[in-house]
Homo-oligomer: A and B are copies of this chain.
Amino acid sequence: MTDVNIKVIPEGSVCSPIGFKANGIHCGIRSSISKKDLALIVSEKMCSAAAVYTQNKVFGAPITVTRNNIADGYAQAVICNSGNANTCAPGGVKLAEDTCELTAKALGLKAEDIIVASTGVIGQAMSMEPFEKGMPELVAGLNENGSADAAEAIMTTDTIPKYRAVEVEIGGKKVTIGGISKGSGMINPNMATMLSFITTDAAITPQMLQKALSADIKKSFNQICVDGDTSTNDTVAIMANGMAGNDEIKENGEDFEAFAKGLAEVTQYLAKKMAKDGEGATKLIECNVVGAPDEATANKIAKTVISSNLLKCAIFGADANWGRVLCAIGYCEGDFSADNIDVEMKSSKGSVTVCKGSTHHEYSEDEASVILSEDEIIINIDMNQGSGTGTAWGCDLTYDYVQINGDYRS
């Protein structure tokens, strides 16, 4: 692996790469005028485009339309609303198509070059009216500092907007990758969805872009969990407009690797932000697995651990209940041994080894409680049987999660 120098751009987002503008407004899909509900991201030039979607058999109408629109590998804009998921809604596909048509017209583009996405409640009919009403304002306000508005407009129960941008050097050229995302987990606790839109000025073919994205999500968005409910609308889309001027990435090699590393920096950052902002969450839980038979198993184990309701409650209560870690490892599917597992719990306040060789390791409960009272908790697991490593991110399970989801629609 080549060493890649990645520079984080302070407050960078989807407008950091050359040639992208964005905006976000309130158009009336939501009743509260204080919450923006429509976002637009546009590239000056046509982009290579790639996307990955939810694997839920029930999926949003916008996914059907986006899949068609980027089947040729190209797109130039993203239109996304919050407040209604356009899923199990009457006439949903037609509405998503009409939204692309409307957006394309306002931008002077073709409807087939628009990526459309929706997030919010399932099963409620949507109307074109707010889109039609808001489109002129949305397009007129497009600007190079519009990413904060766009990031806000795609939020549902998120408490903070999530954005990131980095610079990497590819073939001697500075390439920028930026992204925004929303959702409180790979699984959106509001039946809305996890969404992420990534922009880059890299020159890269649609095929290599899809390859980079498909590989990337296995170690970023697919490794977070808030509540185990896979949403119907999950979508991660990336657009690359080539304006950085690097030689187009057409195959594996140093350039592709550098791009993948830059991409990972953006996606993993956003994924962690989403886990930490999981509904009702007070803590980020990171689980690192080493010594597993292989990487896939390590990732699965890490994900199983951070998905355990029992562990999530224990971390909320700052309780070093490592038996729950072992229990979760034990019910993870896969071909591995659970006989010689070490577990360490860690935060900025220090670390304790709580389990060694799958049995109790002496530690101070008081010290553990201090460590676990921090808001970023790391659980390090050594399976002691191979070289597979993996990481996953989750959050604690709190009273507020129950409150938010017992009362979402009212």
Contact = CB atoms under 8 A, between A and B. Distances in A.
Interface string A195-230: 000000000000000000000000000000001111
A406 B317 contact: yes
A71 to B, nearest CB: 22
A321 B408 contact: yes
A229 B327 contact: yes
Interface stretch (A94-102, A107-115, A145-153, A395-403): A395-403
A328 B187 CA distance: 11
Interface string A378-406: 00000000000000000001110111111
Interface in A122-171: 122-125
Copies of the chain in the assembly: 2
B313 A191 contact: no
Interface string A317-339: 10101111011111110001110
A93 interface: no
A326 B231 CA distance: 10
Interface residues of A, number: 63
A408 B309 contact: no
Identify which of A124, A323, A359 gathers the most chain B CB atoms within 10 Å of its CB. Answer: A323
Contacts of A125: 360
Nearest to A320: B409
A341 to B, nearest CB: 8
Main secondary structure of the interface of A (DSSP, over half): loop
A331 B230 contact: yes
A76 interface: no
Given A191-B323, A231-B327, A331-B56, A309 B405 contact: yes
A305 B323 CA distance: 27
A232 B330 contact: yes
Given A228-B309, A330-B58, A405 B314 contact: yes
Interface stretch (A6-14, A37-45, A83-91, A260-268): A83-91
A310 B359 contact: no
Interface in A220-267: 227-232
B402 A88 contact: no
Contacts of A314: 405-406, 408
A358 B58 contact: yes
A408 B311 CA distance: 11
A3 interface: no
Contacts of A229: 308-310, 324, 327-328, 331
A397 B310 CA distance: 12
A402 B313 contact: yes
Nearest to A233: B327
A332 to B, nearest CB: 8
Interface string A10-46: 0000000000000000000000000000000000000
A48 B262 CA distance: 64
Contacts of A404: 313
Contacts of A410: 317, 319
A240 B57 CA distance: 45
A89 B357 CA distance: 11
A249 to B, nearest CB: 34
12 contacts: A59-B330, A122-B323, A122-B326, A122-B327, A191-B321, A191-B324, A191-B327, A229-B310, A230-B331, A232-B326, A317-B410, A401-B402
Interface of A: 55-59, 85, 87-90, 121-125, 189, 191, 227-232, 307-310, 313-314, 316-317, 319, 321-324, 326-332, 336-338, 355, 358-360, 397-399, 401-410
